[in-house]
Amino acid sequence: MTTLFFGDEPVRLDNGISGIPWLVETANPPSFHALISGAGNSPATTIRAQIFLPEGAETSPAVIVVPGSLGVAPSHLYKAELLTAAGIAACVLDPFGSRGVTSTVANQAQYSFAASAFDVVATISQLAGHDGIDGTRIGAQGHSRGGSAVLAAACLIPLLQGDQSLAGVYAAYPWCGQQFLNPRIGATKVRSVVGDRDEWCLAQQVQGYMQAMRLTGGDATWRIFPGAQHSFDRDTPVELVEDASVAPGAPTIYIDDDGAMLHPATGEPDPALSERELMLYGIKAGYGVRGAHIGSSGDQAQSFHDDMMAFWQHCLIPEPAQ
């Protein structure tokens, strides 16, 4: 499992396209309440990224690629290869390097899920101003913790009342243990995919979140891949990550419109509740598990990429006029 940290040097894809090193101005809000309601301190920070532009186009639609708890891996760069080959730019984020984080596998509380979501929101508006990007056609794809981030970003945008927009969100095996109580996503098309043998993320929570988006008027779909483990798009053999700290069966933590979290045991919103406190509640309630598998077998990775590219073609590439 290789974690990549972006520096000042361009990353060259196997298809010959070199990345453009880029800095994203973002923040470290301690909670969604701090982010939405402005309560508390959200220190500014920057994270690194690389933008990969397809050849031969003045401007292109783009997909922001957000890694999960193991950071940027070769599998995320492969997404950039597939996207650029289809005429879609890719902006791969490195949310760890500048924050001094190597992995969140054993400890998800090193920085907040609210900060992960704001990374996506901040990237949208800044990427829209890039000369090579069509700012009206930007999507976001996240994996695991990154999947949580892009789903939260889709719900945050209407609440923050900014001028950002997302054409689509593709959430790969997202952790849906935190969900917005009223997940309004506007015109954003959302799709989530997860394996039915995922030991990190509960497929039933993914289904429930997508259905909640549908019931609030959103265009949300999902697909469950039979026999697939977590990170089944990596096209690497299934392996055990022994230090993974997971609680897939813990009760869902809901987030109110002002960002306050609802304690599962009371159902009442409390702005003072922290993500760490509620994660510890799930562990103390007996849902914590140590160790989980990642990887793929057979044609699972190919099936993932076929589904992924069909979604982005639909969202970002207009059909030719008849």
Range(s) of the domain holding residue 284: 20-315
**In this structure, is residue 10 part of a structural domain?**
no
pLDDT digits (tens, 9 = 90+) for 194-242: 999 999 999 999 999 999 999 999 999 999 999 999 999 999 999 999 9
**In this structure, is residue 5 part of a structural domain?**
no
pLDDT at residue 100, as a whole number: 87
- What tokens were used for 80? 């950039």
Q: What is the mean pLDDT of the chain?
A: 93
pLDDT at 170 over 90: yes
Max distance between CA atoms of the chain, in angstroms, equals 59
* Contact between residue 152 and residue 118 where contact means Cβ atoms under 8 Å apart: no
Q: What is the CATH number of the domain that holds 254?
A: 3.40.50.1820
**In this structure, is residue 109 part of a structural domain?**
yes
**In this structure, is residue 135 part of a structural domain?**
yes
State how far the Cα of 240 lies from the Cα of 105, in Å rounded to an integer: 12
**In this structure, is residue 8 part of a structural domain?**
no
**In this structure, is residue 2 part of a structural domain?**
no
pLDDT at residue 172, as a whole number: 98
Residues 6+ apart with CB under 8 A from 191: 168, 169, 170, 171, 220, 221, 222, 223, 311
How many domains in the chain? 1
**In this structure, is residue 6 part of a structural domain?**
no
**In this structure, is residue 11 part of a structural domain?**
no
pLDDT at 26 over 60: yes
